Amino acid sequence: MKDLSAVSNKWFFIPKKNKQANLRLFCFPFGGGGASFYRSWSEYLPPNIELYSVQLPGRENRLKEEPFTRLMPLVTTLSGVIEPYLDIPFVFFGHSMGSWISFELTRHLLRQSKPGPAHLFVSGRRAPQLQDPDPPKHNLPESELIKELRRYNGTPELVLQEPELLDIFMPIIRADLAVLETYKYIEELPIECPITAFGGLEDRKTGYEKLIAWRENTIGGFRLKMFPGDHFYLKETQGQLLGEMIKDLKSYL
């Protein structure tokens, strides 16, 4: 197996290295988000689960790197980067944009006859086969895009009101929106690993019907759990969310 450790260090934030772990949890970020969002999750996990938070180009410690604007080139790159770390059983979690990244990465790994995740957790993103009724946003004028970001309640108001911070943040969010809005779902056989979908009860864009449609993409079992809150419900419910995930992971541990 090709040694990509020198390349991969910047791709993962690992709060607690654990050589005794028998399961790895890879967490993929939402649009505009970075690996630090999942930093505290390791405090809620059993000691035999090792957390790998994925850091994409263009944010936090990789701010000077060009962000991806298309999903499949990102997935292909991630496939090579993540391969050395698939030596023990693993699972994927993705919120919003991270849901589609983790789903397509799963399909890509399986097409390449590489190990796939034992479980896929998706959150706050409609099933990929569903069409988006809204027009693209990644090329909106800045003032209109800021209004859209406020609707999602995920971007700190300090960032939206500070021109210097906006200059840094806007290219990242436009790139991530382009990743989502140019993505074309290709129908394939359903994957075999189970899928658990999560969402916020007050998320106006990704409700129950758009989440339950994820069940069409697996023959390995499906579960849907909704939490109080909006699109970023997981900020307030991370303990409960991780409790639900651990419930699904007991058989692997």
Pairing of the two strands 222-227 and 195-200: parallel
| Phi and psi torsions of 14, nearest 5° | -120, 100
CA distances from 121 to 34, 95, 251 (A): 18, 9, 15
Select which of 36, 42, 79, 96 is catalytic: 96
Give the residue among 99, 103, 97, 174 at the shortest CA–CA distance from 136. 174
Residue 133's region, left for phi above 0, alpha for psi from -120 to 50, else beta, is alpha
Active site residue 96: yes
Which sign, positive or negative, has the C-alpha torsion 144, 131, 70, 81? positive
User: What does DSSP assign to residue 191?
Assistant: B
Closest CA to 124 of 225, 245, 221: 225
* Contact assessment for residue 28 and residue 55, using Cβ atoms and an 8 Å cutoff: no
Strand partners, 200: 227
Helix, strand, coil fractions of the chain, as percent rounded to 5: 45, 15, 40
Q: Active-site positions?
A: 96
